[in-house]
Structure 1
Amino acid sequence: MMVMRAKDLLGRSGEALAAVFLENQGMRIVDRNWRCPDGEIDIVAIEGETLVIAEVKTRKSLDYGHPFEAVGEAKLARLYRLSSSWCREHHLNARRRRIDVVAVIDNGVGEPQLEHLRGVG
């Protein structure tokens, strides 16, 4: 039996919140936690004719900076590569692709706060 660390549980909770949030924004979630040898995509969604790769960053507080700060150029480049791998595996020719980041602040008290950056990078 595998026990999840508190950090992993927080991350999974944030991803679930982000998926509902994105659905409420009109996106259709088509995959979650997709993995390949090069990494993982948190959420794959469709908005209109655009494939959206959503990276979710969850924190308990802003003590160590805003979650958006954790997505730099190297992470964006990896997400673009992963989006190509996902499309190949699913036989999808997505001409329009976008990387979004969803920040979740959830200190366990009150409602979690979510922010959504569209078209990062």
Structure 2
Amino acid sequence: MSIDRDTFENTSEEELADLSVPEQVLGFLAANDERAFKAREIATQIGVDEGAVSTALSRLKDRDVVEHKATYWAVTDDTGRLERYSGYERATALFNDQLGAEEKESWREHAPSEPHPSVENER
């Protein structure tokens, strides 16, 4: 996962310590909680090998923090269960420190009303 130059220059090495693959996967799915993704799409988005993402998804499913249907994966809608998962807390804290807290309603105001064409092609 890439970071901007400003974050690179102004963040300590400890803060930049890599998130585990499950933390990266969960962070991505939580940030995109209105959608479900295939493992390869997640791998492409977070820059991790698809096999590692598939393994992480299986482990996250065992902990009931992601849901699986056919070839699609989504974060659970059980916010209590999600908040109790320590990897979610670590990923959220790191992203908030680096990028600022997300304001979902503000983001949704600017979100496209139609899916990206690449998503349409997979249907």
Structures share a fold, TM > 0.5?
no
Which structure carries more strand by proportion? Answer: 1
Shorter-chain TM range is under 0.3
Which structure carries more helix by proportion? Answer: 2
TM superposition score normalised by structure 2: 0.27
